[in-house]
Structure 1
Amino acid sequence: MKRTSIEARRWLFPGALSAILAGSGLWYGLTDNAPSQASSAVSKPTQSAILADSTRPSQESGEQRGLENLAQESGPATTPDSLGPQPFAASLSGTEIDGALTADDNGELVINLQVRDFFDYFLSTVGEVSPETAIQQIETMARTHLPEPSSAQAMALLDEYLAYKQASLQVMQTRLDPARAGEPAYQLAALGDALAQLKQLRSATFSSEAHRAFFGLEEAYSEYTLATLAIQQRTDLSEQGKQALVQWHRNQLPEQLRTTEQHLHASSRQQQARTAAIESASSPEEAGRQLAELGVNQQGVESVVNYLKQREHFDQRFEDFREAVDREASSGLADADLEKQREALLERHFPQPQDRTWARLKMLGNG
């Protein structure tokens, strides 16, 4: 794929990059079919790398060569995990760098999700600093801490990532048909189409290795998400049938995603059971007994029981307050006097500010 150099692209980004940094989070999984011509994209320096090289002295100092040799002898080179006490953007103060650029024993760039996280860490500052500044910081880190060819490969991959970010803006701006925007089936189809376009864009922009490393997990989870949404919309399946199909799709996830999703699913079911126990209980004490049977520890049971007792006490006080207000309303007081009396009653029945707030909300039908 023909690419504009980073230096040239910098002049295109001040408006575009800021708008699309958060716009590429849609996920979708399709069969991986990255074009073969992209397979060597990372192994060749881009025009930006060549231009960057031309700005440096043609001869490295002996000290620089010595540092590079020392890094190679001591193990794979990698970027540091911090920018120090005074980073180039104030928002990064006190943070560790997400991800890293790493060279293997042969000086080749290790292509994994850490690389994308590293790029995003610096690009997230666009708006606070100029796109040029954020990109230059990435280049400085790569040139300073990685040997060749990994530093040039990192810049080539950054070049591709910026091209993807820019091109994805058009996909993300696709508008829904207002007349059908409320239809779940239409929403699902539109989301699937948009995510499929992003997948095709990624395949056309990156090598298959970089594509899988940067977006593989996202695309696997997006396929799972779209499948489960489609299952929930089907009217020809029983609830048991839907659950069985969702579980089948969950089992197809990569191991790390599957483990997390199963844990979240189990936690959700557990929470639903505990909520049902509280709602069905005839008293706070009964709710506590049911929660204990569901595995809630003693401290948790006590906190829930105490809260439910407080709510019961509040509800009783509110009933007394409402009866008192009704008596005052029937006494023939003028509206202004009635409002003053209502506030006095509110203070008397609810001396705590938080309780008064809840009482006011309940008076409005929100408590």
Structure 2
Amino acid sequence: MGAPSSSTSPVNSRRTATTWVIGAAALCGALIYGFHSRQVETVGPDSSRAPAKTGASPFSLATISDASTIGPQLPASLQGTTVPRLPIDDRGSLRKTKRVRDFYDYFLTTQNEISPTALDHLVNAQIAVQLENRPGQREAEQLWGRYRAYLTSLDQIQHAPQAQPSVPLVTNLDLDAIQLALDQRTQLADQHLGEWATVFFGDDEQQQRFDLARLRISTDPRLSDADKTRQLAALDQTLPADQQIALQKLKLQQQHMDSLSQIEKQQLSPQEMQAQIAQTLGPAVAQRVAQTAQADQAWNTTYATYAKQRDRILAEGLLPQDRDAQLAQLRQQSFPQDSDARRAAALDSDVVKN
């Protein structure tokens, strides 16, 4: 869709202006999130997916026309997504990279949809399809069992009576309890995963311990504001150079979000908002925000058309298997990009129920 015109009605003008602010916030938020989220190495098409839906789903092995990428038939919630590839070296051994964890986590999102036995069958079958008796196959199968054991042990600790806080964490931030939880997770990971613990969680743990150290300084009542500023700056200097640069970008993006929040409160028209963003954050940011807002409007239009067809399918009273297959096909037709299809599936989660 084109840029908003001056003839837009007051209601639509306000809605468009809100879309601009949402687009701007999303733009800045994506940059902020990128500093805190774990960096995932990717190969081939995007392999992430929307959260799994609850309820049972049949599982069986399908005829494989392209064994290297398709493998066994996937549960309904994974239909239309691309299975991550297991990384191997020249000898066929499993490479020590986070992409292995990405592979496992992709299938773990179905654990509320299929039984534990079916989940193990699915993962091991896909390992066999991808590695085809290479040396890494046995290692990947064993590592999957160790990863599952780690997650089971972690779940037991997190649901133990003593692990439940007596008051909400948001009102009583127990930093010592957070420290203990981090230490327990590290111990469990080392116990079950050995050298793979650092591969899977090393970067995450480093970031979490850094964030905890910042929290200790920021919430210490014995420190003055000047002391906190000085100690936080000293802590930032302990980061590697590339992370210090990323942190500075994070702070800048937070400033941008604060500025956008102030612009939103002024209740400007889309044209006035674009001019204000350009003046405050620069024309390049204003242009990206405009493109984001326009893309979001176009996506919403596409989703509205898709939703009408989806509702017609739901009204037919099909068996869950047939319904899910038709919906997956409709999503693929309506949203060629995997990320858009997953976004639609996530929005459908409250509408499509087994």
Q: Which residue of 2 aligns with 1:184?
A: 172
Q: Which residue of 2 aligns with 1:95?
A: 81
Larger radius of gyration: 1
Q: Which residue of 1 aligns with 2:43?
A: none
Q: Does 1:195 align with 2:182?
A: yes
Letter paired with 1:90: A
Cα RMSD, aligned residues only: 3.7
Contact 2:277 2:285 survives alignment (8 Å): no
Contact 1:108 1:150 survives alignment (8 Å): yes
Aligned pair in 2 of structure 1 residues 240, 276: CA closer, same or farther (>3 Å)? farther
Contact 2:256 2:281 survives alignment (8 Å): no
Q: Within 2, Cα distance between the matches of 1:248 and 1:181?
A: 27
Per chain length, whose mean CA-contact separation is higher, i.e. which structure has more relative contact order (CA < 8 Å, sep 6+)? 2
Q: Which residue of 2 aligns with 1:271?
A: 257
Q: If the length of structure 1 is used for normalisation, what is the TM-score?
A: 0.51
Q: Within 2, Cα distance between the matches of 1:253 and 1:150?
A: 35
Aligned pair in 2 of structure 1 residues 162, 229: CA closer, same or farther (>3 Å)? same
1:204-243, aligned counterparts within 5 Å?
204-208=191-195, 210-243=196-229
Displacement of 1:172 after TM fit? Answer: 1.3
Task: Using the aligned pairs only, state the percent identity.
Answer: 26
Contact 1:123 1:131 survives alignment (8 Å): no
Displacement of 1:204 after TM fit? Answer: 1.2
Letter paired with 2:81: T
Alignment counterpart, residue 159 of structure 2, candidates 148, 173, 188: 173
Letter paired with 2:221: T
Letter paired with 1:134: L
Alignment counterpart, residue 107 of structure 2, candidates 117, 122, 126: 122
Q: Aligned to 2:176, what secondary structure does the other structure show?
A: helix
Letter paired with 1:199: T
Displacement of 1:215 after TM fit? Answer: 0.3
Displacement of 1:136 after TM fit? Answer: 1.5
Contact 1:171 1:198 survives alignment (8 Å): no
Aligned pair in 2 of structure 1 residues 231, 128: CA closer, same or farther (>3 Å)? same
Displacement of 1:298 after TM fit? Answer: 9.3
Q: If the length of structure 2 is used for normalisation, what is the TM-score?
A: 0.52
Q: Within 1, Cα distance between the matches of 2:158 and 2:87?
A: 31
Displacement of 1:108 after TM fit? Answer: 1.8
Displacement of 1:90 after TM fit? Answer: 0.9
Displacement of 1:125 after TM fit? Answer: 1.0
Q: Within 1, Cα distance between the matches of 2:86 and 2:211?
A: 31
Contact 1:107 1:150 survives alignment (8 Å): yes
Aligned pair in 2 of structure 1 residues 116, 170: CA closer, same or farther (>3 Å)? same
Q: Within 2, Cα distance between the matches of 1:219 and 1:234?
A: 22
Q: Within 1, Cα distance between the matches of 2:191 and 2:124?
A: 24
Aligned pair in 2 of structure 1 residues 145, 255: CA closer, same or farther (>3 Å)? farther
Number of residues of Structure 1 aligned to a counterpart in Structure 2: 220
Q: Aligned to 1:249, what secondary structure does the other structure show?
A: helix
Displacement of 1:164 after TM fit? Answer: 0.3
Q: Within 1, Cα distance between the matches of 2:111 and 2:264?
A: 48
Aligned pair in 2 of structure 1 residues 144, 230: CA closer, same or farther (>3 Å)? same
Displacement of 1:294 after TM fit? Answer: 2.1
Letter paired with 1:235: P
Displacement of 1:234 after TM fit? Answer: 1.3
Q: Within 1, Cα distance between the matches of 2:151 and 2:226?
A: 41
Q: Does 1:137 align with 2:137?
A: no
Contact 2:175 2:216 survives alignment (8 Å): yes
Q: Within 2, Cα distance between the matches of 1:113 and 1:201?
A: 18
Aligned pair in 2 of structure 1 residues 254, 204: CA closer, same or farther (>3 Å)? farther
Letter paired with 1:95: T
Report Cα offsets for 1:215-242 as digits up to 9, x if no partner.
Answer: 0111011112211211111123343443
Letter paired with 2:177: A
Alignment counterpart, residue 98 of structure 2, candidates 89, 93, 113: 113
Report Cα offsets for 1:31-69 as digits up to 9, x if no partner.
Answer: xxxxxxxxxxxxxxxxxxxxxxxxxxxxxxxxxxxxxxx
Q: Which residue of 2 aligns with 1:162?
A: 148
Q: Which residue of 1 aligns with 2:302?
A: none
Report Cα offsets for 1:287-311 as digits up to 9, x if no partner.
Answer: 987654422439959x99xxxxxxx
